[in-house]
């Protein structure tokens, strides 16, 4: 079941994201940041366990980012990730946002959902807002992709 994240999900979300961040597959998020951005997150819950998580972060007028997508091994290749992303895309549409981007080490996954490759230089606000604080900056090899509703 996909639903909006709640306060009591934060520790579970943090643990799931940390596992992927430790493998340098996504940007680490602090507990404090997760509380600050709780409203951005949706989770996939199965048997009272958080199996997947994804966030829609609104950047500015008509631009949002899909970020912090993580699916536990037991939920992979079962449609959990695509369901989470589609939920975030629908939420963007509900807000009237038609331009959504992501930075990912799994670009093929996003291409299957209709995202297209773009040059990271098209996202200067993103680069300076989050990426400059990343340990991989400026040598990040994540790929930038965009979705237009």
Burial-class residue 110 by CB neighbours within 10 Å (0-12, 13-18, 19+): buried
Residue 108 has what pLDDT?
96
Q: What's the rounded Cα separation, in Å, for the pair 59 and 65?
A: 7
Residue 26 has what pLDDT?
87
Q: What's the rounded Cα separation, in Å, for the pair 8 and 147?
A: 31
Token couple for 132 = 């400059």
Residue 126 has what pLDDT?
60
Residue 45 has what pLDDT?
96
What is the pLDDT tens value at each position of the chain, 149 positions in all? Answer: 999 999 999 999 999 999 999 998 888 899 999 999 999 999 999 999 999 999 999 988 899 999 999 999 998 999 999 999 999 999 999 999 999 999 999 999 999 999 999 988 788 666 556 666 665 666 677 889 999 98
Token couple for 66 = 């899909």
Burial-class residue 3 by CB neighbours within 10 Å (0-12, 13-18, 19+): exposed
Contact 70, 53 (CB under 8 A): yes
Residue 68 has what pLDDT?
96
The domains located in the chain, with CATH, are 2-148 (3.40.630.30)
Residue 61 has what pLDDT?
86
Residue 120 has what pLDDT?
83
Token couple for 22 = 């430790």
Contact 106, 71 (CB under 8 A): no
pTM: 0.91
Residue 141 has what pLDDT?
76
Residue 149 has what pLDDT?
86
């Amino acid at each position: 079941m996909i639903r909006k994240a709640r306060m009591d999900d934060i520790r579970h979300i943090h643990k799931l994201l940390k596992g992927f961040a430790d493998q340098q597959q996504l940007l680490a998020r602090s507990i404090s940041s997760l509380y600050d951005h709780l409203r951005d997150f949706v989770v996939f819950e199965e048997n009272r366990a958080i199996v997947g998580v994804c966030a829609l972060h609104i950047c500015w007028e008509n631009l949002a980012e899909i970020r912090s997508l993580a699916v536990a091994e037991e939920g992979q290749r079962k449609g959990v990730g695509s369901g989470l992303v589609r939920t975030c895309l629908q939420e963007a549409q509900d807000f009237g946002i038609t331009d959504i981007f992501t930075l990912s080490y799994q670009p093929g996954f996003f291409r299957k959902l209709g995202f297209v490759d773009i040059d990271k230089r098209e996202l200067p606000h993103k680069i300076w807002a989050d990426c400059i604080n990343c340990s991989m900056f400026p040598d990040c090899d994540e790929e930038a992709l965009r979705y237009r509703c």
